[in-house]
Homo-oligomer: A and B are copies of this chain.
Amino acid sequence: MYINNPASYTDYYELTMAQGYFLSGKHQKSAGFDYFFRKIPFKGGYVIFAGLNELIETIQNFSFSEEEIEYLRKENFKKEFLDYLQDFQFKGNIYSVKEGEIVFPTEPILRVEGNLLETQLIETLLLNILNFQSLIATKAARIKLAAGEGPIVLDFGLRRSQGLGGIHATRAAMIGGFDGTSNVYSAQRFDVPAGGTMAHSWIQSYDSELDAFQTYAKYYPDDTTLLVDTYDTLGCGVPNAIKVAKELEENGHKMKAIRLDSGDLAYFSKQSRKQLDDAGLGYVKIAASNQLDERVIHSLRTQNAPIDIFGVGTRLVTGHTTPALDGVYKLNSVDGTPKLKISENIEKITLPGNKKIFRYCNDDGTFYGDAILFDQEKTIERMHHPTFPAKKSDVTSREFEDLLQPVIKNGRIVSNLPEVKEIAKYAKQRLNLLQPEYKRLENPHIYKVGISTNLMEKRDALLKLFKS
């Protein structure tokens, strides 16, 4: 489970509102909420949805502990409400796109139905889980795409992750396409590969760099990656590594790699590659780390830096440049009546009613565009740009997928919870169906997301009601 006390892992106002609904007898009214985001992070073209498994497991086990009730009592919550919370369980329904799905702004990625109290109460927990893991899965996918098909990308971020956020940063990085992690805790918990060899301190603790290298190679002859920049990369680091590789060869082993952690990585990787190749060590790989992200890796690739393994830390696990996905959770209906939020900012106006997403395909199976429509709509003929209705597309003849599927029904999990590896495989498969223009680092093409005619008309009618 995500956290042992999910009920108090929340914003205080969820509880004051819940009590308000309860005391006014309104808590049993049915309600629907949508989870969606408004802006793609990193100036990118897509988001990978992640965190679903933790969310649904946690919601299925959502309850208030004695200690939490006690705390709320001291905070002056009313006895009758606390009695209600004592037996509280989430009994609603959740529909969601698959974990690992490629998603876009304004789409109701996940929909919650239930009574007003229970659907409100899970808001903060839901946002906390989904916003962060989707952010990092997206960042990881960008980095993996920048690195290309050959090189391996590894998560080295735990030391700079935002506290315990490191646990799920690693999970999300693996979903986004990373090949492994240094994070032992998460590797164990999520069954993904962990690895790592030495820090500078290992080298420093010996009287000589060569001694440090030789000792390491002695104990890890088949998994030796030597860190070569402690004193002088090209002057002694790589030459000492070559000496050790030759000694390993004599004993029938092959050194795995050297690692560069400072200096100009393009220059040093080329010079190191040359030294290694000249010594007949073409099989020894080059790993690089130090403030890497998708842009630095892209630049290294365009310079033909011969790097085989990228260790990415801080900028991966903190979602560097956009440290949060702006996902929100908005009421779409009460007792079947569609609801709308207007707001002073136009982009904060919401879409009313219970909705779903159809994804339309091109003839080659790649994604054409997505439509948001009412749940009861069977098919639609065209979709409209959400804010410029004159812009529309005919989708009559296209194949489509219905992306939202039930994951919780009446409080019980009804979907399978795939392993992280499975989710990663799905994300990769879906990314392959997204055309390259949407995956560009600079100014990616904007993926088409439209709304159905019915949805547009309903929204506009509700807007008019408030204006009059």
Chain A residues engaging chain B, CB cutoff 8 angstroms: 2-3, 5, 8-17, 19-21, 23-24, 26, 29, 31, 33, 67-68, 71, 75, 116, 120, 123-124, 127-129, 131-133, 135, 156, 158-169, 182-185, 187-188, 194-202, 204-205, 215-216, 218-220, 229-233, 261-264, 268, 314, 318-320, 323-326, 330-331, 334, 339-345, 348, 466
Q: Considering only CB atoms, which chain B residue lies closest to A225 in the complex? A: B13
B160 touches A324 (CB 8 A): yes
A120 and B202 alpha carbons, distance in the complex (Å): 9
B163 touches A169 (CB 8 A): yes
Among B198, B205, B262, B264, which residue has its beta carbon within 8 angstroms of that of A343?
Answer: B262
A184 touches B220 (CB 8 A): no
Among B17, B161, B262, which residue has its beta carbon within 8 angstroms of that of A202?
Answer: B17
- Contacting residues, chain B, for A12 (C-beta < 8 A): 182-184, 187, 194-196
| A326 → B minimal CB distance (Å) | 7
Copies of this protein in the complex: 2
A128 and B317 alpha carbons, distance in the complex (Å): 12
A164 and B163 alpha carbons, distance in the complex (Å): 7
B232 touches A466 (CB 8 A): yes
| A240 → B minimal CB distance (Å) | 13
A163 and B167 in contact, given A20-B220, A344-B263 (Cβ under 8 angstroms): yes
A184 and B11 in contact, given A20-B215, A162-B132, A324-B160 (Cβ under 8 angstroms): yes
Among B71, B215, B233, which residue has its beta carbon within 8 angstroms of that of A24?
Answer: B215
| A110 → B minimal CB distance (Å) | 14
A200 touches B331 (CB 8 A): yes
A163 touches B75 (CB 8 A): no
A196 and B11 in contact, given A161-B165, A162-B169, A165-B161 (Cβ under 8 angstroms): yes
A219 touches B262 (CB 8 A): no
- Contacting residues, chain B, for A33 (C-beta < 8 A): 201
